[in-house]
Amino acid sequence: MKILAIETSCDETGVAILECEGSFEGASFTILGNALYSQATLHAPYGGVYPNLAKREHQNNLAPLATEALKASGLLKSRTKDTPVNDSSLENIRDQTFKSNIEDFLASTEKPDIEFIAVTKGPGLEPALWTGINFAESLGRAWNIPVIGIDHMEGHIFSALLKKLSDSSFQLSGMQFPILAFLISGGHTEFVVMKEPFVYEHIGATRDDAIGEAFDKVARLLDLPYPGGPQIAEVASRSRARGEKNEISFPRPMAQDDTCDFSFSGLKTAVLYKLRDMDKIDEKVKEQIAEAFEDAARDVVIIKTKRALEATEPKILAVGGGVSANTEIKRALTALVDEDFSDIQLLFPDATLTGDNAIMIGVAGYLRHLSGTHTASNLSALGNLKLGE
């Protein structure tokens, strides 16, 4: 079965073509085509994602990326642009430039050999989500194939459960329930238990800033470019490499709280106050502040993850989302499981799948298709969609 997948939840535009085989337990996936465009440099002057800019870039790039992915997969079939496009396929498109882009794409592209389209329906920035949904539904109507909506965070869960077989192929790891998913990204910090396929319980989340958001905000305070996570990690690593005692320290918010919830807003504010107390900081002090901040965030992650593991007793801990690529947090989670929970399997996504991407949306789409638990019509953008609620 071949699937076209679309991801536009934030500032990455992704289109992928996947060939999917097998049952839920042993499903395998071959990436036939994958096109991804990051808007990070465009949003850098704002220190974060600017929603209307993200929407515009998705509108400009979806059709070219779809062409690129189809061409790479060998499924692109061109036709003359004189071929009329059914107006009903574009009925939800109000932006004239976007409408023209889709019209040109459909007029020049034959229906490919795919069985359905999977598209992110939430959570995320609603203007960005609507762009992907409108594009997917226009293709679905024109090609007379189903379009199913996928939870972006579910995609991140399954990205961690994939075993890489080659540069272009993955297989779903042996599924053992319950699975504790720890989802950490620019917009999310949450624990979700998957008790059985697609049955979720939400057991903890941030009460304010997500961990990735806190990294971005602290990076801005330190005059580091967006996205801030990799920048903070790099600067902190230079301080850590010196092996000197760091005299700077920040609080561990909610460390004594007996829930699995987080709070990172106060940690960011502590960094702000520390910088205000200093007249001027040199590069070494900047590195020490970054290290102290990352240490505090890491410690909170470990304290809360230990609490969640003790409460849920999972077979698997699956860590997904962009912050799962953070070297220090990854090291500490590995040490926690090795030392205190050696009977639990710890899984991280392949490096190519930690960020937002269409591959994970296609994987979740195929597994939803197998289970019959999906929405296939009248999709809506759900910016605050949550698993297990």
pLDDT of residue 94: 86
- CATH code of the region 177-314: 3.30.420.40
* Sequence letter at residue 229: G
pLDDT of residue 255: 93
- Tally of residues, the chain: 389
CA distances, 277 to each of 42, 46, 272 (Å):
32, 25, 9
pLDDT of residue 238: 96
CA distances, 367 to each of 88, 179, 378 (Å):
30, 16, 20
Q: Show the low-confidence residues of the chain (pLDDT under 50).
A: none
pLDDT by residue (tens digit) across 240-261?
999 999 999 999 999 999 999 9
Give the CA dihedral 153, 154, 156, 159, nearest 10 degrees. -170
pLDDT of residue 175: 85
Tokens 């947090």 map to which residue? 329
Any idea what DSSP says for residue 351?
G
Token pair in block for residue 139: 């293709």
Q: CB within 8 A of 306, min separation 6: which ones?
A: 336, 340
Token pair in block for residue 206: 């941030």
Domain boundaries, the chain: 2-170+353-371, 177-314
- Are the CB atoms for 33 and 71 separated by under 8 Å? yes
pLDDT of residue 375: 56
Helix residue spans in the chain (DSSP H): 40-43, 51-73, 96-108, 126-143, 152-160, 211-221, 228-242, 265-277, 283-312, 327-340, 358-371
- With 0-12 / 13-18 / 19 or more C-beta atoms within 10 angstroms meaning exposed / middle / buried, residue 110 is middle
Compute the distance between CA of residue 287 and CA of residue 90 in angstroms, rounded to an integer.
Answer: 52
pLDDT of residue 357: 97
Tokens 């937002």 map to which residue? 356
Token pair in block for residue 274: 């520390």
CATH label, 2-170+353-371, candidates 3.30.420.40, 3.40.50.720, 1.20.120.1200, 3.30.70.100 = 3.30.420.40
Per 3-state DSSP, the chain is made up of helix, strand and coil in percentages (nearest 5) of 45, 20, 35
Tell me the pTM.
0.95
pLDDT of residue 82: 64
Compute the distance between CA of residue 117 and CA of residue 132 in angstroms, rounded to an integer.
Answer: 11
Same fold, 2-170+353-371 and 177-314: yes
- Are the CB atoms for 86 and 159 separated by under 8 Å? no
Tokens 């999310």 map to which residue? 188
C-alpha R_g of the chain: 22
- Are the CB atoms for 32 and 8 separated by under 8 Å? no
Strand partners, 316: 179, 345
